[in-house]
Amino acid sequence: MKLNTPRVVIAGVASGVGKTTVTVGLIGALKARGMKVAAFKCGPDYLDPTYHAQVAGASHNLDGWMMGRQAVLATFGRVAKDADFAIIEGVMGLFDGASPVSDQGSTAEIAKWLKAPVVVVVDASGMARTIAALAKGFASFDHELRVVGIVANRLGSRGHLELLRASQPVVPVVGGLPKDRDHAFPERHLGLFSANVNNLPQQLFSTWAALVKDWIDVDAIVAAGQDAEPLELDFDPNLSAPSRTRCKIALAFDEAFHFYYEDNLRRLEQAGAELVRFSPLHDRTLPDDVDGLYLGGGYPETVADALAANASMLESIRRFARDGAPVYAECGGLMYLCHAIRTLDGKSHPMLGLIDGEAVMADRIQALGYAEVETVRETILGPAGLRFRGHQFRYSSLSSSNSRQDACAYLVSTRRKSAPFREGYVVGNVLASYVHAHFASNPSLAEGFVASCEAYRLRRTSFWHKDTSSCQQHLKHTERN
């Protein structure tokens, strides 16, 4: 099929130059014109998409290294096909990615796959004619890219913007944004605060939309997007509904756990799962009649005392796991499954105790970057020998006095370690890892997890209906142990 949706990539010179601010403001400005905007984020980022979603309704990750070209195009096509305009926010600098010598995993790679024109955001504070040199470099570095404009962020005044334009860069300065610390998006140790669980004031978003409308030539960006070449997709991006609901999976979602790829959740649903959101922080027990548990990443360390105090939830999850229910946890979810989380103040907060060890917070990053995984034993995701890709971004590490390497299901390879290492902690039907997996890298992961949950559902329901008294005795025995 042919996809004609106008689109533009909002890239940057580096991280921290204001790509998210420009993207959110531009989405808001286009929506004010009555346009339906599809929003995307390049790279393994859980936070920036929550800001897009505040104005666009949803946002989807596009990562060349984890997903591959086919999955990137499928996700883009499925979401963008009914939109009036698509905006793709880049990651880091335009050419930064998984390799220092190629565009693999970079914003540039995504822009070329999507045949999308690129607008580059520059931190222009303290800058004048140098912007012309930057423009020349971005215009000529990769001739397969079409860089159509520069947005100068953190301007001192209108005069500063005119000074930059007067330098006659080969790529036009299509506008900029003034310094405005009062409306800056709040940050913490993993980046921006999550907008979807922290109730940020809507004034933040409306202010940036108004500033974009006032300071940036939105018409020029729209025209560039409309000039993008049609995309030829050799597949249908539409999804058929699952034939039946095979299982229900409890999905932890609150201030502590909310790092999920929309694509992962969609793949679980497509495989036949019904996702039931709940809060380990605020609810007293797991939802009724669920067959599996998905604990994503997030910030459990920031509310560790409250998680530890919710004794009824802790016991509910322990019983669920001890009964053989599939439990899949990533990063923050792994921390919750440990015996305790030790925060920076040295205090140890007791957690579920299903995985041996204590998650210890540090004041600096403990792991950052892409990871490739091979399973070395059968897990709730499927048989041994599965390969998939993901990433790590964490400030904690697992301290364990008697961790067993033979109980680990993963062989993990990263660029930062010279040799693969064992990880992926397994206890019964519990699987926990610091790796955030992207299911697009191996679609069988979603199917495997759903199949494990369905098998538990069949065992649970047949066991219950076969002999209710025996089931009750079994539950009492589980609680005693």
| Residues involved in catalysis | 331
Residue 57 zone, left/alpha/beta (φ > 0; ψ -120 to 50; rest): left
User: 389: which strand partners?
Assistant: 372, 438
Say which amino acid occupies 476. Answer: K
Taking the C-alpha atoms of residue 25 and residue 18, their distance in angstroms, rounded to an integer, is: 11
Rounded Cα gap, residues 392 and 300, in angstroms: 16
Maximum distance among all Cα pairs of the chain, rounded to whole angstroms: 83
Comparing C-alpha atoms, which of 157, 238, 224 is closest to residue 8? Answer: 224
In sequence order, what are the residues at sequence separation of 6 or more whose Cβ sits closer than 8 angstroms to the Cβ of residue 248? 273, 274, 275, 276, 287, 289, 290, 291, 292, 453, 457
Joined together, the tokens standing for residue 243 give 């034939």
Q: How far apart are CA 117 and CA 108, in angstroms?
A: 10
DSSP symbol at 193: P
CA distance 213 to 224: 16
Q: Tell me which residue of 108, 10, 12 sits closest to 59, measured CA to CA.
A: 10
